[in-house]
Structure 1
């Protein structure tokens, strides 16, 4: 999302300084099982925004550098486990429009992501939609508002039901992306990957995560509704939805450093603020592999 999930240039500089020199471990608890045999050598394309790309998780690689892809993001981990040939075109800051149009980043231009999906593509994962509803802007706005009313619900009062309208407007855009994948690779297995849980409903951990107590349920509800919309669109298109949110309580931004899957403003491991860390990427990779093992295609 352009300022938080996609990272603006100023926050990028600060975040790089905060985590420079860090290292992240790879791994995974879920065996690839039958998925390894099914997808070995097959072409796998990963599409998505920064929750797919993994900004600031070492080691960053790929072009353009402004997409901030990690070689320990979930597509990289999944590809290694199932032995697929990965083409990762995910990019921090991406919206649904960047699936069919070039995306400018602070360090280069990313071609339209759907260009990577071709007739020989066998597997596609896509994580998109958060930037379309402006979740980065919402998170920043809620954080600033909390400074004046940490026990109240200033963000809820500010946004009200406007976010529901944004999700409604994003729905056909996500449907169009999934249709574009089907058109380009009719035989591909497609998985829509949801967003990891960011905050608990209560009591929060202000000011470490600067969200007012009364706004936690609001922000969590926004994320729940976004994920529900993604699940509905996945089902409608014949794709598989990978639920990254479920079970995230206690692994959110307020969790202990050795348990969290998503970093807060105050970083405890190398990752971008309000983004998955290496542990979060491993968790999502586990869930993707589990979905592949459960697939009838295996």
Structure 2
């Protein structure tokens, strides 16, 4: 063999492994990563697929910054309890919570570009979190809007109780609870593998009230708390009927209502879109409550 042929053969032997290595690098498929439309992932996300549904209490209305590329009408904050849970656990998240959502919006679009919330669920969904029911029959808008309006006209009386009577409690029994039961069953049917955690509403005001923070008349404080208690009972019972987990916030939020000063979890009236909604501490407490419930289920 001539010296020239030997040098060419030696060079070829050295080049072949390099070419093979390059081909292997180019052809190696990328690691599959479950993308989230609302939460940026750091590191490798776990296999869990998390869907966060519900109304303004789930969306974190009033908290900034908002979830990028989400509808401004939904007021979906990056510090809502679903987003917090997903970041803590490294879960891929689909967050479709939206301010103003009712139980009907599980199956019906809410705004232009905001479709039915059930569309977020699939056979891959493993965890669902939500709050729902407060906007059904206009419960919260009536309690907060009408009762505070009437409270200013008669601070020491019970103008809201006189005006509304048992209208709200009747609506909870005849409209809200049946709708919630049906809605929770639909969620379970659309995400058969998932654990579903329905969070109750934290207390809005204390048993003694605080007219300077929430202008509800002295005689209406027990009435408003009674409506909220019945709503949470309806959510709990509907969750039980549908076979999903109810996460109670009543005990946890005692002493953290809008009357609680620096310890409050609820933003007082007159503070913009976040009025009478959980603040950052409230959302973190809701995330903690769900995490505790997950540990037991």
Q: TM-score, normalised by structure 2?
A: 0.81
Give deviations 1:29-69, integer Å, cap 9, x for gaps.
xxxxxxxxxx9331110110000001120111242121010
Which whole-Å CA distance do the structure 1 matches of 2:255 and 2:130 have between them?
A: 26
1:248 counterpart residue number = 253
Conserved 8 A contact 1:66-1:92? yes
Structure with a larger share of its residues in strand: 1
Conserved 8 A contact 2:176-2:234? no
- Paired residues, what number? 250
Conserved 8 A contact 2:62-2:275? no
1:180 counterpart residue number = 186
Task: Specify the SS of the correspondent of 2:154.
Answer: coil
- Partner of residue 89 from structure 2, selected from 76, 82, 86: 82
Conserved 8 A contact 2:266-2:276? yes
Q: Higher Cα Rg: structure 1 or 2?
A: 2
- Partner of residue 290 from structure 1, selected from 264, 289, 292: 292
Is 1:139 the counterpart of 2:144? The answer is yes
Matches within 5 A, 1:108-147: 108-134=112-138, 135-147=140-152
- Partner of residue 108 from structure 2, selected from 101, 110, 123: 101
Which whole-Å CA distance do the structure 1 matches of 2:78 and 2:149 have between them?
A: 33
Shift of 1:148: 1.5
Conserved 8 A contact 1:41-1:83? no
Task: Specify the SS of the correspondent of 1:207.
Answer: coil
Conserved 8 A contact 1:49-1:94? yes
- Partner of residue 275 from structure 1, selected from 264, 274, 277: 277
Q: TM-score, normalised by structure 1?
A: 0.81
Give deviations 1:53-88, integer Å, cap 9, x for gaps.
011201112421210101100001111122221111
1:213 counterpart residue number = 218
Structure with a larger share of its residues in helix: 2
Which whole-Å CA distance do the structure 2 matches of 1:43 and 1:245 have between them?
A: 28
Conserved 8 A contact 1:253-1:260? yes
Moved over 3 A (4+): none
* Unpaired runs of at least 5, structure 2: 1-44
Shift of 1:163: 1.1
Shift of 1:271: 6.6
Is 1:91 the counterpart of 2:112? The answer is no
* Unpaired runs of at least 5, structure 1: 1-38
Conserved 8 A contact 1:271-1:278? no
Give deviations 1:245-267, integer Å, cap 9, x for gaps.
223232111111x2100011144
Which whole-Å CA distance do the structure 2 matches of 1:65 and 1:79 have between them?
A: 21
Instruction: Answer with 39-48 or 188-197: which moved more.
Output: 39-48
Which whole-Å CA distance do the structure 2 matches of 1:209 and 1:164 have between them?
A: 21
Task: Specify the SS of the correspondent of 1:262.
Answer: coil
Which whole-Å CA distance do the structure 2 matches of 1:150 and 1:186 have between them?
A: 50
Relative contact order (C-alpha < 8 Å, sep 6+): which is higher? 1
